[in-house]
Structures are given as structure tokens and as C-alpha cells.
Amino acid sequence: MSESPRRPTPEAQAEQRIADILRAAESWSREAPGALTPAIRAVCIRLAEMVADQRHYLAPLPEPQESERRTVLTLVADRLRSSSVTQGLTPHLQALEEMELRSTGSWSMVASAQTEWITTAIRYLETCAAKLPAADRPDPYWADDVVAGIIASVRALIGVDELHARTEARYSGPIKRVTPEEEES
């Protein structure tokens, strides 16, 4: 009789996702000057924390998958705030918080909040780049590309893709939400 492969614990899954998120941050910072790496890492951590906090707004899975998903995403969000992950990034995380880039439930529910935080992250990275000598600054729009890439990477790593998020937003709750296109018809 063959043994079924043992499923990793929620803690192991969370640790793997954190490691993947940090690798994504490292990957997105490779093309930028080294001086911007801590800022990019801080933005990645903060945006990952926000995506993990979407756990409260996802359609429930059948048990026991729902309990496991909720536990893993809670662990991911909590560990993204831990000193082992944020070590050396305190000034960047504080600057982002001062710019109102902190995790709240509205990240999941309000499209304008997501847009504002994306804009804030881009503005923060551009501000950090502007402090570099002109010859060392990245190309225009690099921050837009980095933030978009970070969000796409983190959503994929955490398991919340854009299509799923749009579907959740449209069909969650007792009433089907009507899109602007459907209203015009």
C-alpha cells in the first residue's frame, strides 16, 4: 500500500509563502540600483500584507480547506509584520505608514483604496529614486512596473489572483453587483 504524501502544516505553508514573497521582492529589485532595494522590499512586504489580509473577503471553501486557507493567510499577514522579515526596513515601513500605506480591510473591498495604495507605493519608490544622483536613477515608469509586478507576484504567491478578486467583489454578499457595462445595456 502506498502512503499518501503528507500535506505541509499551515505554518510550513506560511513560511514557504513568506520566503517566496521575499524572493519576489529580491527579483523585482534586481534591475533597480542597489540603493533602492530596501525601499522595494518594504513596498513588497506592505503590499503582500494587504493582499494576505484579503482572507476575510474571499468566498469560503469547503471545510477543512477554508480553515487551512484562513490560518495560512493569517500567519502570512502576521509574519510579514515580524522583526525577522522587517529587519533593517523600519525607516521605509514608517515612511510608507506616514503616507497612509498600511493594511486595512478596505484594501479588499474598495477599488479606490487599492488604487490609492498603488499610487502611494509608486510615489514612495519615485521619491526614493529621486534622492539618487541623476546618472543612477532608473528609467521613467520603473516604479509603476515594479509595483504592478509586486502585486501580481504576491497575489499569485498567496493564491488571490485578479480574476478571483474581481469575481469575489462582484458576487460576494446577498445581491449580485452590477458592473457599469451591465448598467448601460
Three cell numbers written together for 56:
476575510
Is residue 135 packed enough to be buried (19+ CB in 10 Å), middle (13-18) or exposed (0-12)? exposed
**Residue 59, φ and ψ in degrees, nearest 5:** -65, 140
Q: Is residue 124 scored above 80 in pLDDT?
A: yes
- Highest mean pLDDT (candidates 108-117, 124-133, 146-155): 124-133
Report how far residue 86's alpha carbon sits from residue 10's, in angstroms, rounded to the nearest whole number: 21
Confirm if 41 and 29 have CB atoms less than 8 A apart: yes
Residue ranges per domain, the chain? 10-172
Give the pLDDT confidence score for residue 175 in this predicted structure.
47
- pLDDT of 72-123, one tens digit each? 888 988 898 899 999 999 999 988 888 765 545 555 556 677 778 888 899 9
Q: Is residue 170 scored above 70 in pLDDT?
A: no
- pLDDT of 138-148, one tens digit each? 988 899 999 98
pTM: 0.75
Give the pLDDT confidence score for residue 36 in this predicted structure.
94
Calculate mean pLDDT across residues 56-69.
76
Arithmetic mean of pLDDT over the chain: 78
Report how far residue 108's alpha carbon sits from residue 138's, in angstroms, rounded to the nearest whole number: 31
